[in-house]
A = this chain, B = another copy of it.
Amino acid sequence: MSAGEKVTVPLRQMGERAKQAAARLAQVPGEVRRKALVAMADALDAEAGRLVDVNSQDVEAARGSLTNALIDRLTLTPSRLAGMTEGLRAIAEQPDPVGEVVEEWTRPNGLRIQKVRRPIGVIAVIYEARPNVTADVAGLCIMSGNAVILRGSSAALRTNLCVAGILVEAATVAGLPEHAVQLVEDTSRESAAELMRLKGLVDLIIPRGGPALIASIEQNATVPHIIDGDGNCHVYVDRSADPDMAAAIVVNAKTSKPSVCNAAETLLVHAGLADSWLPGVLDSLKDKGVEIRGDETVQRLWPEAVPATPQDWGTEYLDLILAVRVVEDIEQAIDHVNRWGTSNAEAIVTGDPGAAEMFTKQVDSGTVFVNASTRFSDGGQFGYGAEIGISTQKLHARGPLGLRELTSSGYVVWGTGQVRS
């Protein structure tokens, strides 16, 4: 694709082009990939006016059909654009994962075995309205030596075409192979389904979207995938917690950005702390507009609470609603999290190192925080420059996905003529 090109390329052909580009890109030195990312950032900065202008056309067209929240996610402001280019520059400063020797040992027969990181090949990402994902994903894939096929939503198509066109031109001038970055213009469900089945051409597909997209991947995909799943995140406040720290973390985890997957949805409180601590923190949450759904103990301690049902324990509200339960001990908290959680991010607030150790060892989740907000479950906050998603699965990678998680590994074994007896 070049900027402004209008001919729609069939998906299979895009896959074949991507596969060829991936083979070449895997051989491009890290310095060239790094410089290409900086050139991509420079080009987006230089075209900021045009980008904001094109984006306003998407936003205008979406008014009436999208919710205000989705309109907000679609909108590209100058500061969000600056965030995109900062992300690209931050990715360019990460250590190059390609060729990294992860482990190395020598066998008694003299064979020297190296486990080495290699690019995965062709990565496809299906995502929704945020246009910044186009730049984040392109940057992460290129820096990890992978060709990428981007498939955004119809609402953001003008913006994505403009962003991708600028990125592609800058990348090509900087010496990257043609078709290292491609954007799918057909935003139909059929094109998404076809992309999931391009086995042999696409090596990995990452769905960034709601439950319907995840279900479609699980039903239809023949291409290997990493699930970027729901975030039914928990904060457990232990008996030994510092009350002020606990209140600050709970309020932050619930209210700083309720619409995202790392926001807390359930608060679990140790019974030994509930009487003294819970009513105050629930007052603070109410002041911030949060609706509280509590178990019987919570209702007794704070009568304004709406009675919670088991459905509340399993719901990712993505809204100013918090389920609250008082637990007898840390074991009950751990059982609750492992039963209802979605393996995205959980936190314990505690002053007891034993409790911290127990919680971090027994809670089955992508990221377990001790005395910090779940809101830090994020590639940028981990120092990855950006993220391509948060894995909630166990194979390959869990938690925020950075450059290293976008590589495969293989063995290189150095001998001096060894044969096996």
A413 at the interface (CB under 8 A from B): yes
| A225–B266 CA distance with the chains assembled, in angstroms | 32
Contact B415 A370 (CB under 8 A): yes
Contact status A396-B395, CB under 8 Å: yes
Q: Provided the pairs A248-B417, A411-B366 are in contact, do residues A224 and B394 lie with their beta carbons within 8 angstroms?
A: yes
A373 interface neighbour in B397, B398, B419, Cβ under 8 Å: B419
A218 proximal to B (CB < 8 A): yes
Interface centre among A256, A409, A421 (most CB of B within 10 A): A409
* B394 with A121: CB separation less than 8 A: yes
Binds B, one of A10-18, A61-69, A105-113: A105-113
Among A33-41, A78-86, A166-174, A357-365, the stretch that binds chain B is A357-365
Q: For residue A371, which residues in chain B have a CB less than 8 angstroms away from its CB?
A: 414-418
Task: Looking at the assembled complex, report how far the CB atom of A139 sits from the nearest CB atom of chain B, in whole angstroms.
Answer: 20
Chain B residues with CB below 8 A from A361, complex form: 26-27, 99
- Whether A420 and B27, one on each chain, are in contact in the complex, defined by CB atoms closer than 8 angstroms, is no
B121 engages A418 (CB within 8 Å): no
* A203 CB–B CB distance under 8 Å: yes
Q: Are B375 and A419 in contact (CB under 8 A)?
A: yes
Chain A residues 6 to 53 lying within 8 A of chain B, measured CB to CB, are 23, 26-27
Query: Is A340 engaged at the interface, CB distance under 8 Å to the other chain?
Result: no
Judge if A245 is at the interface, Cβ distance under 8 Å. yes
Cβ contact within 8 Å between A107 and B408? no
State the CA gap A226–B414 with chains docked (Å): 26
Q: In this complex, which of A99, A381, A411 has the most chain B Cβ atoms within 10 angstroms of its Cβ?
A: A411
CB within 8 Å of B: which A325-374 residues: 338, 356, 360-362, 364-373
Closest 7 CB pairs of A and B: A372-B415, A252-B419, A375-B420, A394-B408, A367-B411, A245-B417, A396-B396
| 10 further contact pairs, Cβ within 8 A, besides A369-B413, A371-B414, A376-B415 | A365-B410, A368-B412, A369-B415, A370-B414, A372-B417, A375-B420, A376-B418, A395-B396, A398-B409, A400-B411
